[in-house]
Amino acid sequence: MLRGQGARAGVDGPPPARATSGVVDCALYRDGARVEGSEGTAELYAQARDIDGAFVWIGLHEPDEKTFTGVAEIFGLHPLAVEDVVHQEQRPKLERYEDVTFLLVRAAQYVDHAALTDTSEIVHTGVVWIFVGEHFVVTVRKGTVGELRSVRAELEAVPHLLAQGPWAVVHAVYDRVVDAYVDIAAAMQTDLDMVEASVFSRDPNLGIEQIYQFKRELMEFKAAVMPLQRPLSTIVDRQAGALPKEIRRYFRDVADHHARVVEQVISHDDLLTSILQARLAQVTVAQNNDMRKIASWAAIAALQTAIAGIYGMNFAFMPELQWRYGYPGVLTVMVLSAVALYRRLRRAGWL
């Protein structure tokens, strides 16, 4: 049986033996306060249904299928939503199953790096699934990103907000995720400024591979941010069930922050595309310059080869063959023709 207090520790590192089933914490909350006890999850949920304003919050981290199936049976979660978790569906969304709302949000974390390389990892992402009912909220986390133990601790320190019910937990999770988005967008702006300055410097030191890798990381971040617009809009527009009025106000603030991140991500994407195209154009121009230089030197060499070839045919009746100064005269003509052609090509910008 899933116990209420047995697995609170171990969310940030390798879980202890008690948490191997994936249960991080499970508690009953009443009027914004945590009710201490060691009852199993089913017993806590039974108590919550008998008390107005009470709910159970169980947090799971990468639970095995058996553990999660047991949780789903206790709270009556819809099989389709359970299937999304088991098969690790990762697109942010919000769906209603009778009295239960199912939400999916992708958490993100910025990865500090000394320099951009063609293998740099700039953003790590994880997934959080949330099931919300009248008297319960189930959070399921996958990956090392988006830990929720600190979210629980912060929420428990604000009883008047926690007293609003399960949707207060949803708001706290969304608020933490979107705040991380804001920080990542700001950090990426710094990286983008560095890339732009490097590409348009006199001696660019960033290759196309590094810029393309940055764009791939931006696309991963974009895939986490952009789809969240619809779930947030559904919540703010009062289409996500009976939310407390106070919590809905908090969600509007989250939606505002998210809208700002969306604008930044679109701006970053457009600018990075322009930078990538500019770098490709620079490479093309450099290649054209190299080809023109090669062609110019080839033309100079071809002229000398033509002159040497004519005098290398050794015909008997060539007037210069009997001339005392024929050899140095031909060499002089070759040098002067080479210099003249070099100056002409250099004036034309080919050399």
Tens of pLDDT, residues 98-130: 889 999 999 999 998 888 888 888 999 999 999
Q: Considering the domain boundaries, does residue 194 fall inside one?
A: yes
Tell me which of 221 and 287 has the higher pLDDT. 221
Q: Judge if 205 and 265 occupy the same domain.
A: yes
- pLDDT at residue 28 in the model: 93
Q: Judge if 258 and 122 occupy the same domain.
A: yes
The DSSP output letter for 136 is E
Per the rule left: phi > 0, alpha: psi between -120 and 50, beta: everything else, 27 is beta
Q: Considering the domain boundaries, does residue 12 fall inside one?
A: no
| 16: pLDDT strictly greater than 60 | no
Q: What is the CATH number of the domain that holds 331?
A: 1.20.58
| 318: pLDDT strictly greater than 80 | no
Amino acid identity for residue 49 in this structure: R
Choose the final residue of a domain: 282, 301, 326: 282
Kindly state the average pLDDT of the residues 298-302. Answer: 81
Choose the final residue of a domain: 243, 267, 282: 282
Please name which of 85, 62, 78 lies closest in space to residue 15, comparing C-alpha atoms: 62
Residues 232/255, Cβ–Cβ less than 8 Å: yes
Render pLDDT for 197-256 as a digit per residue (tens, 0 to 9): 888 877 777 778 888 888 999 999 999 999 999 999 988 887 656 677 888 889 999 999
Q: Considering the domain boundaries, does residue 11 fall inside one?
A: no
| 20: pLDDT strictly greater than 80 | no
- pLDDT at residue 221 in the model: 93
Q: Judge if 185 and 290 occupy the same domain.
A: no
Q: Judge if 269 and 296 occupy the same domain.
A: no
- pLDDT at residue 166 in the model: 92
- pLDDT at residue 267 in the model: 92
Distances (CA, A) of 281 to 15, 72, 105, 116: 51, 56, 39, 21
Kindly state the average pLDDT of the residues 23-31. Answer: 91
Q: Judge if 253 and 304 occupy the same domain.
A: no
Q: What is the CATH number of the domain that holds 82?
A: 3.30.460.20
Q: Residues with Cβ < 8 Å from 196, sequence gap 6 or more?
A: 271, 275
How far is it, in rounded angstroms, from Cα 178 to Cα 226? 11
| 146: pLDDT strictly greater than 60 | yes
Q: Is the dihedral of CA 192, 198, 201, 207 positive or negative?
A: negative
| 172: pLDDT strictly greater than 50 | yes
The DSSP output letter for 147 is -
Q: Judge if 192 and 312 occupy the same domain.
A: no
pLDDT > 90: percent of the chain: 39
Other beta carbons within 10 Å of 134: 13
pLDDT > 70: percent of the chain: 88
Please name which of 75, 92, 260, 245 lies closest in space to residue 168, comparing C-alpha atoms: 245
How far is it, in rounded angstroms, from Cα 102 to Cα 177? 17
Q: Considering the domain boundaries, does residue 7 fall inside one?
A: no
Residues 38/5, Cβ–Cβ less than 8 Å: yes
How far is it, in rounded angstroms, from Cα 92 to Cα 97? 16
pTM (2 d.p.): 0.76
Distances (CA, A) of 247 to 34, 89, 134, 158, 250: 19, 27, 15, 13, 5
By mean pLDDT, which of 146-150, 167-171, 264-268, 324-328 is the weakest?
324-328
Other beta carbons within 10 Å of 224: 25
Strand partners, 105: 128
Q: Judge if 207 and 222 occupy the same domain.
A: yes
Alpha helices for the chain (secondary structure H): 41-49, 65-75, 79-86, 149-156, 159-162, 166-199, 208-225, 229-236, 245-311, 326-347
Domain of residue 321: give its range. 286-347
Tell me which of 76 and 91 has the higher pLDDT. 76
Number of domains in the chain: 2
Q: Considering the domain boundaries, does residue 4 fall inside one?
A: no
Q: Residues with Cβ < 8 Å from 126, sequence gap 6 or more?
A: 106, 107, 108, 109, 141, 142, 143, 144, 145, 146
By mean pLDDT, which of 10-14, 30-34, 131-135 is the weakest?
10-14
Q: Considering the domain boundaries, does residue 297 fall inside one?
A: yes
Amino acid identity for residue 22 in this structure: G
Q: Considering the domain boundaries, does residue 61 fall inside one?
A: yes
Choose the final residue of a domain: 265, 282, 299: 282
Q: Considering the domain boundaries, does residue 38 fall inside one?
A: yes
pLDDT, averaged across the chain? 83
Q: Judge if 62 and 89 occupy the same domain.
A: yes
Q: Judge if 207 and 307 occupy the same domain.
A: no
Distances (CA, A) of 40 to 8, 26, 216: 14, 9, 45
Q: Judge if 107 and 122 occupy the same domain.
A: yes
Q: Residues with Cβ < 8 Å from 178, sequence gap 6 or more?
A: 228, 254, 257, 258, 261
Q: Judge if 277 and 296 occupy the same domain.
A: no
